A and B are shown apart, each in its own frame.
Chain A
């Protein structure tokens, strides 16, 4: 049976059946690495287009934004109550028992982010969300937008696989991992059909993990622990709220 996607009313108006849902948040990935950093933007691409910071095309685990990215499709609306940012390590490289870049604390196994790297990102990344205008509607560090996702661990003498079971690690998360740990906007943001938007991950230092480029990169001034040539940290931005989508 053909699916009804459009109804022309007797007076000529066109009605498109749609529904509001709170069951599919809008989300978008990007990937960062150590080394010089260029601003990357979440929601700047749609499904099957290139994920920022990578050379691969997006799958549904990267984003569920339809269209060319940078704008809401013409047949959708969204009311955003919260923005949540979660992080995962995509790839480690090297055969060192301590991971590719020995850090002050040995790095975790994939896909967990070390506490040191999480704190470096929270310290150095500033999130600027744009809704409709080019003026940033948010201008706050990454830790202000907790993930409300992640794993809670209970360990006892845990050792990592990448160290061949010789050392442990300390794992971090962008905020607490419970669902009620999201930060709600006091005033929700609304996007209508076709309106432009994006979330820019900026780094005023120029390099995530290095807060004073004039100093040598040791100790507290260390870059992210991921190998700059192959390792990356995936950051997923989630817009939590209500979405209106077409029924077909």
Chain B
């Protein structure tokens, strides 16, 4: 049927009730943040980290720390359809949180010793110890519901989250080119089996406020060698309207 108007609701005969046509999908929601690192190796440090994510949509500004230039979000940064929450016609059940990381800048030398081979992680690789810094210093909190900032639905050190998407790195077993070493890390094996599944899923109701906070409560991360992009996934099933045609 050409040019048909999509059917979104059906009026139940004999009543004043509308049946909304929607679907449940395996549809993780993701949002990206970026951490800036400044200084000259080995004296590098991150910006203060107090970041909110899932608070912007495509076309908005990607969440970032102060030393990084703002940029507009693309579809590779987020698939959130409403800032800081669910649309009136959407619902979400969260089963797991995971992430993947990309370097924005290359890592610098970590040693001033004569003859030492500098560790190298060329962006978008992330140097292993930068992930270790995140594990040690970052806190992740998922806030669901208005006024619930002090009782988040999820709160854990970053280390508790595992990285289920990404690439393993198979090295040659020594320096690739004889002048630089390689360091590359992932938050565990990049596999879907590397996700902690919540024993009690978290529900985000229609129109309910929902966003996440990523903070470094003890201050800037001293020693972070790269500016980094982190894409956080809320893994679960989502109810959203069906558009036919």
Contact = CB atoms under 8 A, between A and B. Distances in A.
Nearest to A183: B192
B124 A120 contact: yes
A115 interface: yes
Nearest to B231: A141
B24 A187 contact: yes
B218 interface: no
A176 B191 contact: yes
B176 A105 contact: yes
Interface stretch (B9-17, B127-135, B236-244): B236-244
Interface residues of A, number: 60
A187 B173 CA distance: 41
Contacts of B244: 133
A202 B124 contact: no
Contact of A122 (B24, B123, B167, B170): B167
Interface residues of B, number: 54
A171 B76 contact: no
A204 B174 contact: no
Interface of B: 24-28, 30, 71, 74-76, 79, 95, 100, 102-106, 120, 122-125, 164-178, 182, 184, 189-193, 229, 231, 233, 236-237, 242-245
13 contacts: A105-B176, A115-B184, A123-B229, A125-B76, A133-B243, A137-B25, A158-B172, A158-B173, A170-B170, A175-B191, A205-B74, A219-B105, A220-B122
Given A126-B75, A205-B74, A133 B105 contact: no
A143 B106 contact: no
A6 interface: no
